[in-house]
Amino acid sequence: MDQTFTRIGKRLTLICLLLGLLLAAALLLGAGLGSSSRNPLAVLDLLRSLTEPGTTGFAIVWKIRLPRVLLAAMTGATLSLGGLVFQVLLRNPLAEPYILGISGGAAVGAIAGMLLGIPFFPGVTLSAFAGSMATLAIVMLLAAGARAGRQDSLLLAGVMMNAFAGAVIMFLISMSQSSQLHHILFWLMGDLSMAEAARLPLFALILPCYLVIFFLARPMNVLLTGREAAASLGVNVRKISLILLVTATLMVSLVVCLSGLVGFVGLVVPHILRLTIGPDHRLLVPASLLGGASYLVFCDLLARILPASGELPVGIITAMIGAPLFIMLLWRAARQ
């Protein structure tokens, strides 16, 4: 058998197996370690305490860390898959929900909803979705109005929308007398500490989004060859793009409602994966889910154990890793 073509079947199994193991390790460490137990050996204590209901260890793990680790995993998976989808739709490897201002738009919608005091579901989630769709529409209009095909006009439009969203958020917060101010500010920086087991079922809405995108993995490959070429290869470009756009925006806005503004995950994870496994989305979609989940669980672990006391919002860790990578990629693209 010659190796001319990338055979998907075997590689898919191997990649899922390896990244699955990585995710399992991340989850175990994430649930086992924390500010009260920095020693890696604590994982062993954890395994012991799982069988002993009533102990403090048991409560910490099951009530606090597990919901938090699961939230981190699903947030990471969603954001990196969202990044992957926007990179395809905009044919730009630097596109990402946070950089494009989509997360910011969702945050504006979510905060407006919170301050109005409407219920979290479906009220706040819907206003977040509306906010992110509106931002996306504005960014794409601005970018299309600028000289077509210019990568930087899109990024610039996104950055400006992000700044605008930030201003609106600060305005909303300063106008309100809400007692939740501290909570909201932390959430803005990307915060997983508010993980509530009660809100995790929201992921029942996100899982179908993963599935839709997985089934569109091959058309995503074809879309990257350009609109006309994709059409001539049998892809209904407008329909597929619209489905991808709405699905990705929906799942990202849901995640913003739960975890706040966690930036650059959708840039870092797909970038590393493309370098290691190539540009085929039949591999990249499942790999982004597993890789993104592992990545954010590790980032959250850092956010919990790095500070001498207390903890950092995870968005600070992801920005400290992601922003330099973004600048490096932009610099390299400019030199070409």
**Distance in Å, CB of 83 to another protein, minimum:** 14
Position among 215, 276, 306, 327 found at the interface with another protein (CB under 8 A) = 215
Instruction: State which residue, 240 or 299, has the beta carbon closest to another protein.
Output: 240
d(CA 293, CA 283): 16
The 3-class secondary structure across 120-178, one letter per residue, is HHHHHHHHHHHHHHHHHHHHHHHHHHCCCCCHHHHHHHHHHHHHHHHHHHHHHHHHCCC
Position among 13, 39, 180, 225 found at the interface with another protein (CB under 8 A) = 225
Position among 20, 123, 166, 279 found at the interface with another protein (CB under 8 A) = 279
Task: Give SS3 for 47.
Answer: helix
Contact positions with another protein (CB under 8 A) in 67-126:
91-93
The 3-class secondary structure across 259-301, one letter per residue, is HCCCCCHHHHHHHHHHHHHCCCHHHHHHHHHHHHHHHHHHHHH
329 binds another protein (CB under 8 A): no
274 binds another protein (CB under 8 A): yes
Contact positions with another protein (CB under 8 A) in 132-191:
none
Instruction: State which residue, 219 or 313, has the beta carbon closest to another protein.
Output: 219
Position among 48, 63, 150, 227 found at the interface with another protein (CB under 8 A) = 227
Other residues' Cβ atoms within 10 Å of the Cβ of residue 19: 21
**Dihedral sign computed on CA atoms, order 301, 265, 114, 242:** negative
- Find residue 96's DSSP bridge partners: none
6 binds another protein (CB under 8 A): yes
**Distance in Å, CB of 91 to another protein, minimum:** 6
Q: Which of 102, 145, 147 is nearest to 247 (CA)?
A: 102
Applying CB under 8 A, the span of 106-114, 184-192, 233-241, 246-254 interacting with another protein comes to 233-241
Tokens coding 174: 């300063």
Position among 40, 145, 208, 278 found at the interface with another protein (CB under 8 A) = 278
Position among 217, 254, 314, 317 found at the interface with another protein (CB under 8 A) = 217
Instruction: State which residue, 73 or 143, has the beta carbon closest to another protein.
Output: 143
**Distance in Å, CB of 282 to another protein, minimum:** 7
Position among 157, 235, 257, 301 found at the interface with another protein (CB under 8 A) = 235
Task: Give SS3 for 68.
Answer: helix
d(CA 241, CA 90): 10
Task: Give SS3 for 310.
Answer: coil
**Distance in Å, CB of 323 to another protein, minimum:** 22
282 binds another protein (CB under 8 A): yes
User: What is the identity of the amino acid at 222?
Assistant: V
Other residues' Cβ atoms within 10 Å of the Cβ of residue 104: 29
d(CA 133, CA 186): 24
Position among 125, 132, 162, 221 found at the interface with another protein (CB under 8 A) = 221
Q: Given the rule CB under 8 A, which residues bind another protein? A: 4-6, 8-9, 91-93, 215, 217-219, 221-222, 224-229, 231-236, 274, 278-280, 282
